[in-house]
Amino acid sequence: MNQRLRLATRGSPLALAQTRAVADRLTSVQPGLICEVIIVKTTGDHLQSANPDAPAPAKGLFTKEIEEVLRDGRADAAVHSLKDLPVDATPGLTVAAIPERENPADALIVRPECASLTFAPGSEILTGSPRRRVQWRGLYPAVASRPVRGNIDTRLRKMREGSAVGLILAAAGLRRLGLDLGGCHLHLLPLHDMVPAPGQGALALQCRADDSETIDVLALLDDPVTRACVTAERAFLAAMGGGCLAPAGACARPDPATGHLLLQVAWAEDETAPVLRGRVTGPAPDPVALGQAAAERIRQGGDR
């Protein structure tokens, strides 16, 4: 018997690419399933369209309208970039699946003349993230960072047409879109140098908590390892009282030798404050405790 599943998403090229990839995977594991993509304009999209150079929207502004569409029954499920989803659960909704994660690292895209990562005095790079800016300052203190807003292709265009020598973006988004970098060079930034945002590279498949049929379908794509890792990362963010715009990084990875998770974190009170870093390990079945332990490490001043 055929079943129709309405998937709500933002209308950005990356959001659509992610949602179509999820739809393809769902139809491959659930014979007879038909997926329909429903585009929702969010408050965050409106703000970026009105002024792409405006400060980053507050937490939840890329997800609130999508969740409303879910709650009132206009869609059955939603596909979110997990790092956009607030850490506080929305009443009546549940994250039924977190598929296997893409590479969580940040990518530095530079002009051809900077391929060796040697920058002339007065150089600037672009990034829309306070987290990236505070960590970049420690890597290249002589190279200033300047805010940038807009979709990935918009940011790439601004770098090519402006004076900036580079741009920092999530590697996962670039991979999912398969964009032509136009002769620019891509460097993956090491995770210990540029700790990614909690949940970066992961997707969240959300639906109504009382819709057991949709939960069962979405759960076919759930990856327990990814779920454990991002749960630890988001538990750290929650324990620190930060939202998706806080200058906070957290990245958990499984240790095959022990079966434990290694959680690496970075935190700054604001963009002028020093970055505190920490590394903790703990059992994979208790990722929340691991995230809370990392927060306590930061509160005690981080790793010395």
Known catalytic residues are: 84
The three-state (H, E, C) secondary structure of the chain, written as one string: CCEEEEEEECCCHHHHHHHHHHHHHHHHHCCCEEEEEEECCCHHHHHHHHCCCCCCCCCCCCCHHHHHHHHCCCCCEEEEEHHHCCCCCCCCEEEEECCCCCCCCEEEEECHHHCCCCCCCCCEEECCCHHHHHHHHHHCCCCEEECCCCCHHHHHHHHHHCCCCEEEEEHHHHHHHCCCCCCCEEEECCCCCCCCCCCCCCEEEEEECCCHHHHHHHHHHCCHHHHHHHHHHHHHHHHCCCCCCCCEEEEEEECCCCCEEEEEEEECCCCCCCCEEEEEEEECCCHHHHHHHHHHHHHCCCCC
